[in-house]
Chains A and B, each alone.
Chain A
């Protein structure tokens, strides 16, 4: 079972992402708040987090950095409707997140990025399995 966690303050975006990515063996949890997402990560095995860059309380970058520290095997794909900032480039260089998908996304772009994020990490960059 592949558990995908979607964090975005807009529920309509949850459903659009779920409709685009759903498939056999995939389960989605959607939340509008970073705090609830962290609870989910603690509560159940998660394969991938799709996270909006703009969130109340905690920015997507802070969230991704936190996920990377606490759940290093969970990959994070950021989704954003804003222009990339220097902070985003820095986070990319640090490897805080796996990929970046713009809003609006191209359907294939979203699907390909997610498929890549779900593929097993290659031998060089082995993460510690959860």
Chain B
């Protein structure tokens, strides 16, 4: 059974955007009734509203809070709206804030030019219909929304990267701690051996009889037989740690989106080395890693993708417990096929129910318990596949398992946006 995964299109990040705080609007008016009414209107429209009764108060709020739009009365005692607007615009960090003047002056009385010159985006006259105000505000905030969306994408990628680093760190700690345990223990034993050899040597220097007695006392035969294997094992332990660190360096190499020539099998191998004992110790791991070069791809991102697929496979297996003596199977394969570098990660886990296959690539969609996953793994995979012009497909059968297949063009696509997510063949 094959699921068709919806293309990125609209909406993939809708849930993420809904999860973000709403736009914040500041209303500046010395008239209590005006301020109250405007606040109500905009709150009903779903904005977070702050209010100030003077220009000075507005500027203070601006210094302390991120504001997307300001609704500004023109005539106020002390500092008028024009002056407030000029001061806002004089600080470059406020350049993205939309400023809307709202005045009771009749149209044509000359204030409009001055207001727009001061840097306002709109100059509106009272009385104004609630609907017009609402639409003006929405349209002005469209830009702010687009920017927020970009920030969300960056946050999705970043939080997923942190989660992945956490997983890798746990694996690395375990991989290092095991050899470190016997390397340190062996060195302490070696120090004992050295002391014992010294004792025997000193005794021999005194007399052959004392030497022989000391040899028996410290069991010299055992010590001599054990020194070399002990040193060899210790060196082997050090080499294992060196391998882990080398794989870690490969894993961490390159900036997030730095594009280079990458062998997908290399990415899969170092990801597996770092995670297999921690993540996959309960399953039979099958790896068939044929080289699969991609001309230009962000290595870091691919590591995260492979790691996420492996973590998912492990969790899918845990979700379908087996009887005693039975083992789950996780298979990771890489290779090339018709100009594509291909990686498949398959598990014998619970499978993905048909009704949620459409949703699993949405950010924050998760079926995992709280604390196990935040639901960003597959959305990150989909994002990276978009970035490299690749496709991601899944086959799944409830109670039998799931296979993810990622296909990335080995030559750089002409345009990264020419991507699609397709059903498995």
Partners in one complex: yes
Point out residues on A near B: beta carbons under 8 Å.
10, 12-13, 15-17, 19-20, 54-57, 59, 79, 81-83, 102-105, 107, 110
CB <8 Å contact, B237 and A12:
yes
Q: Is B184 interfacial (CB 8 A cutoff)?
A: yes
Partner of B174, one of A12, A57, A82, A110: A82
Partner of A19, one of B177, B179, B181, B185: B185
Please encode chain B, from 365 to 383, with 1 for each CB lying within 8 Å of some chain A CB and 0 for all others.
0000000000000000000
Chain A residues with CB below 8 A from B80, complex form: none
Chain A proximity of B327: nearest CB distance (Å): 8
Chain B proximity of A90: nearest CB distance (Å): 16
Partner of B185, one of A55, A82, A104: A104
Chain B residues with CB below 8 A from A16, complex form: 181-182, 185-186, 189, 233
Interface size class of B (residues with CB under 8 A): 20 to 34
Partner of B189, one of A19, A102, A104: A19
Which residues, 318 to 375 on B, are CB-close (under 8 Å) to A? Answer: 327
Q: Which residue of B lies closest to A56 (CB)?
A: B281
Partner of A103, one of B180, B189, B233, B236: B180
CB <8 Å contact, B181 and A15:
no
For the complex of A and B, 3 pairs with smallest distance between CB atoms = A81-B177, A16-B182, A103-B181
Q: Which residue of A lies closest to B280 (CB)?
A: A56
Most central of B181, B186, B278, B282 by chain A CB within 10 Å: B181
Point out residues on B near A: beta carbons under 8 Å.
170, 173-174, 176-186, 188-189, 226, 229-230, 233, 236-237, 277-278, 281-282, 327
Chain B residues with CB below 8 A from A104, complex form: 177, 180-181, 183-185
Chain A residues with CB below 8 A from B182, complex form: 10, 12-13, 15-16
Chain B proximity of A88: nearest CB distance (Å): 14
CB <8 Å contact, B181 and A20:
no
Chain B proximity of A100: nearest CB distance (Å): 14
CB <8 Å contact, B170 and A15:
no
Complex formed: what's the CA distance from A57 to B322 in Å? 11
Chain B residues with CB below 8 A from A82, complex form: 170, 173-174, 177, 278
Complex formed: what's the CA distance from A84 to B90 in Å? 55
Assuming the A-B contacts A104-B181, A105-B181, are A81 and B174 also in contact, with contact meaning beta carbons closer than 8 angstroms in the complex?
Answer: yes
Complex formed: what's the CA distance from A82 to B177 in Å? 8
Assuming the A-B contacts A83-B173, A103-B177, are A54 and B184 also in contact, with contact meaning beta carbons closer than 8 angstroms in the complex?
Answer: no
Partner of B281, one of A12, A19, A54, A105: A54
CB <8 Å contact, A19 and B174:
no
Chain A proximity of B305: nearest CB distance (Å): 25
Complex formed: what's the CA distance from A17 to B178 in Å? 12
Most central of B179, B185, B229, B230 by chain A CB within 10 Å: B185
Chain A proximity of B90: nearest CB distance (Å): 52
- 11 interchain pairs (CB within 8 A)? A12-B233, A12-B236, A16-B182, A20-B189, A79-B181, A81-B176, A81-B178, A81-B180, A82-B170, A82-B177, A104-B177
Chain A residues with CB below 8 A from B176, complex form: 81
Assuming the A-B contacts A12-B179, A15-B233, A82-B278, are A105 and B173 also in contact, with contact meaning beta carbons closer than 8 angstroms in the complex?
Answer: no
Chain A residues with CB below 8 A from B282, complex form: 56-57, 59
CB <8 Å contact, A105 and B178:
no
Chain B proximity of A45: nearest CB distance (Å): 25
Complex formed: what's the CA distance from A20 to B187 in Å? 11
Chain A proximity of B281: nearest CB distance (Å): 6
